[in-house]
A and B are shown apart, each in its own frame.
Chain A
Amino acid sequence: MTFLGMPLLPPKRRQQTDLPGGQGNIIEPESFPDVSHQHLSNQQLRNNIGHATSTIREKRADVVAELDDWEALREAGARTKNEVMANLPEYLTQFEEAFSAAGGIVHWARDADEANAIVTDLVADNAPVLENGRREVIKVKSMATQEIGLNEHLETAGIDAFETDLAELIVQLGEDKPSHILVPAIHRNRDEIRDIFMDKMPDAGQLTNEPAVLAEAARRHLRHKFLTTKVAISGANFGIAETGSLGVVESEGNGRMCLTLPETLITVMGIEKLLPRFADLEVFLQLLPRSSTGERMNPYTSFWTGRAEGDGPQNVHLVLLDNGRTRALADEHGRTALNCIRCSACMNVCPVYERTGGHAYGSTYPGPIGAILSPLLTGVEEQGNGSLPYASSLCGACYDVCPVKINIPEILVHLRGEDVQANHSPVSSQLDAALTGASWMMSDGKRMTATEKGLPLAHAVTRGEQINALPGIAGAWTSSRDIPALPNKSFRQLWAEEEGEK
């Protein structure tokens, strides 16, 4: 358990929503402290993540400092996303109309199962069966499809999904899980990546650990797939309601390959990813790359609107995904978490993420944003998700860097309140008992005075020395902290004496 930031006053009556929570890879299986302990002892992991996050923090700070209107851009980003959420039905239907008018086909999915089923049917209809009796699709990195566990589902349906983003490829070949939303293989260093490639790429040959050599190996490995595969699956960074356009922001060109060469393109996008107008990109194409990879602009960004005659895929589909987003939207204190544009700046500055790594969060969405988004999508009752809001020191660094100004610390505290109400009442632990007792004692001046009468005795018992170890659950506090020596008199007693003398 964590002690800091535990709300001391009982929160207002819990706002109940009967909207269904999301499913899939957004669930922490056990409590965060238990899971994170498995990772904290992995020194290699901590070195890799520490190195990578400090690199990216510096790059981001440099390119953000280049813009003297950065704060105004953040404010504009926050307001635009608030506007989207407040008018979501209208923007969704406007988007649907424009995308359909341009020859695209829109599908709606209430949850992960429904989205997986829609995509599977589309692949079965459009991808040929190969000699090995299976179908193939190529994929460009997508958080939404990671969230719904699409690859695993497709595999059971006889469809092999090939991840084409370098980091996703490293994760997939290493039979591993992503640990960062921008750089899923951030927990691997160059030596480990070389070993995975040499082990799992039949055509790799002898490789060195130089990043350029490893990138070249990925290029050779995937080139034929890009040029021949009939169906691609993508996510989307932005959907433009006004024009029905979709956009993908990327670096390697694997996105362009997937969005351009196949005959059929299936995009899975959360319903919250919309922007009202194309002109809003003038803000978001500044906020996202600088916050994400710390570049002035990422190498490639693609936009498409339904089907473009004679250019790119002619069979274009979009699956609009709820999967708990409406549940998150119903929480008026938490809904701004849906404004997230998945830049990952918050995890790169988080002292907790830097030490535990992304796997400790159990969900597709790790770090500070994951600590609020996962429980908002599922509800705090879902397995260990109620423990995620405590995975923070509430230092506020995440809020400072967030390009759309999501007040993550505030939502963390709100969700701790939700967790206490849902999972810890009435009194279910020593901590709850202690807090209930403290609350009773502190809520009445007479009780407080009575308690303070014990101070001289406590001072004597501890011989006026600092306290280095306490029994029971309080020992968790003193295992890493010392309590200063107890005073002879309380502040209130001293104050009364001083005032009395006047």
Chain B
Amino acid sequence: MTSTAREEILARINEALGRRGGGDYVSSTARTPASAGSAGAAGSAGAADESGSAASASQASATAADVGYRHEGTHTGEELVDLLIDRLVDYKANVHRATGDPAETIAQLIEAHDSVVVPHGLETSWLSGFDGEVRVDAPGEELTVDELDAQGAVVTASAVAIAQTGTIVLDGSQVCGRRAVTLVPDHHVCIVRVADIVDIVPEGISRLDARDPLTFISGPSATSDIELSRVEGVHGPRTLDVVILNE
């Protein structure tokens, strides 16, 4: 049944676009970019076949609609770090700074907990100042959801941080952890290396791979659903501590 639905929907789209009879649709409202133009030519009348697949992955780096928006920010050095801190604090994350070894800073942040979880790739020395139990989530030795729920905190690194929006991105790597690991515990301590800080969103996106499970985090869990006023602390971790690390 679904394959018929597929053919029918694709045929409807071709009809809607005026491709009936083999004519190519030309957008009346926008320039047709080169990649899309070739894709359009590949789509003949009737259902499109797979060989007509649009812009290939090789064009991944360029967007079709580059009309002069910013691709790079203007902040560098300490100014860039200050911007990130300002934006993180604005959205109610707690920010700390460490140089060299962050173990002492991390230990202070999690000292109230009996047990914390870390992804298996995290530097073990980073937890050396902590007296409680450290559970390591590793392939084949994943903590169950209930076990994660029993952890006081999770400590991870991060893939990239976008200063302008106060956004930290986790990419499921062995230092960022599985998605559940940074979700279920109520307290997230996240280490951001200064080298991983970029200024604006396009710089952040260009450092990521879409095929990784990605989580963009901007402040702790929040809602604006009651009279559109922002309230922090709903289902995700209610406390977000960010440690900015100068190595």
- Within 8 Å by CB of B231, from A92, A183, A215, A257, lies A215
| A interface bracket (residues with beta carbon within 8 Å of B) | 35 or more
Q: Which of B13, B61, B179 has the most CB of A within 10 A?
A: B13
A52 touches B5 (CB 8 A): no
Interface flags for B1-44 (1: CB within 8 Å of A; 0: not) read 11001101110111111000000011111111101100110110
- Chain B residue numbers with a CB within 8 Å of A147 are none
Q: Which of B100-108, B109-117, B128-136, B206-214 contacts A (4 or more CB under 8 A)?
A: B206-214
CA distance A303 to B14 in the complex (A): 29
CA distance A199 to B247 in the complex (A): 54
- Chain A residue numbers with a CB within 8 Å of B167 are 297
- Chain B residue numbers with a CB within 8 Å of A94 are 53-55
For residue B5, which residue of chain A has the nearest CB?
A108
A254 at the interface (CB under 8 A from B): yes
**Closest Cβ of chain B: how far from A288's Cβ, in Å?**
11
**Closest Cβ of chain A: how far from B226's Cβ, in Å?**
4
- Within 8 Å by CB of B139, from A51, A285, A305, A310, lies A310
For residue A257, which residue of chain B has the nearest CB?
B235
B183 touches A257 (CB 8 A): yes
B229 touches A277 (CB 8 A): no
- Within 8 Å by CB of B52, from A89, A167, A185, lies A89
**Closest Cβ of chain B: how far from A382's Cβ, in Å?**
18
A240 at the interface (CB under 8 A from B): yes
B142 touches A310 (CB 8 A): yes
- Chain A residue numbers with a CB within 8 Å of B139 are 310
- Chain A residue numbers with a CB within 8 Å of B216 are 285, 297, 300-302
B39 touches A90 (CB 8 A): yes
Interface flags for B65-109 (1: CB within 8 Å of A; 0: not) read 111111100000000000000010001000000000000000000
For residue A105, which residue of chain B has the nearest CB?
B2
B222 at the interface (CB under 8 A from A): yes
A193 at the interface (CB under 8 A from B): yes
| B interface bracket (residues with beta carbon within 8 Å of A) | 35 or more
- Within 8 Å by CB of A83, from B56, B57, B65, lies B65
- Chain B residue numbers with a CB within 8 Å of A90 are 39-40, 42-43, 48, 52-54
Interface flags for A389-406 (1: CB within 8 Å of B; 0: not) read 000000000000000000
- Within 8 Å by CB of A183, from B14, B17, B225, B233, lies B225
- Chain B residue numbers with a CB within 8 Å of A56 are 228
A455 at the interface (CB under 8 A from B): no
CA distance A83 to B6 in the complex (A): 21
- Within 8 Å by CB of B228, from A186, A257, A289, A298, lies A186
CA distance A326 to B60 in the complex (A): 27
**Closest Cβ of chain B: how far from A354's Cβ, in Å?**
13
B195 at the interface (CB under 8 A from A): no
Q: Which of A48, A94, A109, A164 has the most CB of B within 10 A?
A: A94
A282 touches B235 (CB 8 A): no
For residue B170, which residue of chain A has the nearest CB?
A302
- Chain B residue numbers with a CB within 8 Å of A271 are 9, 13
- Chain A residue numbers with a CB within 8 Å of B221 are 251-253, 299-300
**Closest Cβ of chain B: how far from A1's Cβ, in Å?**
31
A219 touches B2 (CB 8 A): no
**Closest Cβ of chain A: how far from B153's Cβ, in Å?**
16
B211 touches A102 (CB 8 A): yes
CA distance A336 to B30 in the complex (A): 11
Interface flags for A222-256 (1: CB within 8 Å of B; 0: not) read 11001100000000000011110100000111101
B125 at the interface (CB under 8 A from A): no
CA distance A311 to B201 in the complex (A): 26
A413 at the interface (CB under 8 A from B): no
A190 at the interface (CB under 8 A from B): yes
B32 touches A278 (CB 8 A): no
B235 touches A75 (CB 8 A): no
B233 touches A216 (CB 8 A): yes
CA distance A166 to B33 in the complex (A): 41
CA distance A79 to B229 in the complex (A): 33
Report if A252-B53 is in contact (Cβ < 8 Å); known contacts: A212-B233, A330-B15: no
B36 touches A86 (CB 8 A): yes
**Closest Cβ of chain A: how far from B238's Cβ, in Å?**
8
A139 at the interface (CB under 8 A from B): no
A19 touches B15 (CB 8 A): yes
**Closest Cβ of chain B: how far from A177's Cβ, in Å?**
16
- Within 8 Å by CB of A72, from B68, B149, B219, B224, lies B68
- Within 8 Å by CB of A326, from B13, B48, B166, lies B13
Which A residues contact B (CB, under 8 angstroms)? 17, 19, 48, 51-52, 55-56, 59, 68-69, 72-73, 75-80, 82-83, 85-94, 97, 102, 107-110, 114, 118, 164-167, 170, 183, 185-186, 189-190, 193, 211-212, 214-216, 218-219, 222-223, 226-227, 240-243, 245, 251-254, 256-257, 259-261, 271, 276-283, 285-286, 289, 293, 295-305, 308, 310-312, 320, 322, 326-327, 329-330, 332, 335-336
A-B contact pairs, 5 of them (CB 8 A): A69-B70, A89-B43, A107-B2, A300-B236, A326-B13
- List the 9 shortest-distance A-B pairs measured between CB atoms, nearest first: A253-B236, A89-B48, A253-B235, A90-B54, A79-B65, A282-B202, A330-B16, A82-B30, A252-B234
